[in-house]
Amino acid sequence: MTFVLGVDGCRAGWLAVRLDLGGCGIEALLAEYWAALPWRQAAMIAVDMPLGLADAGPRDCDIAARGLLPPGRKSSVFPPPRRYMLACANWQAAQDLGRAREGTGISKQAWNITDKIRELDEALDPADQTRVREVHPELVFHRLNDWQALPPKRRLEDQEARLALLQRAGLPEIAPWLDHFPRQAAGRDDVIDAAACAYTAQRLLAGAAERLPATPPRDSRGLRMEICY
């Protein structure tokens, strides 16, 4: 069975939504490590995590993504660490190094996902980006909502609004999986974001998804710096 994966980082590791193509089966998976996911068998993987990293300054794709989002949601796209920061032991070290080299540090929010970024960076080569693509769920949801502002996913009604957008777009029902995992392992928002990534993985496989920028630059490892939606 051909399948795609949508993946989001979560407290326990990685939350993936597997979408079987043709049969329309859907399920959520939890893995402590990226290597434990069935990503090598998937036809396409869309992950909500930065892949290519700049050596200095912001990535063009992040600037373009913020430009598309309505006011109030632009902050959901934040600059990831620069490549040299991956070697730092903690947030303060990355902050100090960034200020010394560029005059600007790194947010706590960005540092908190650095372990996940490092794990992906060690696992993937440029050739893997034919199947593993960076996706931002907020771009996915706002495109489905005709770029009208959506509130954050904190309240139940806001989560249901996003689920309704995915269902109208043809994604099978994912709601039964929202509370399948312990909250200390993965939240409902992780499942929702991974589902948006799975929907986009299907679009990527069909050649229907869009990316920012249209011609993405590559980082010093040869990884494309892009965001798809």
pLDDT band for position 1 (cuts 50, 70, 90): confident
Is the Cβ–Cβ distance between 12 and 193 less than 8 Å?
no
- CA atoms of 101 and 87, how far apart (whole Å): 14
Amino acid at 7: V
pLDDT recorded at residue 12: 98
Give the residue from 67, 62, 63 showing the smallest Cα distance to 49: 62
122-144 pLDDT per residue, tens: 999 999 999 999 999 999 999 99
Here the tokens at position 211 are: 């990316």
Is the pTM of the predicted complex or chain greater than 0.85?
yes
Is the Cβ–Cβ distance between 120 and 83 less than 8 Å?
no
Domain residue extents for the chain: 3-49+131-211
Percent of the chain with pLDDT over 70: 100
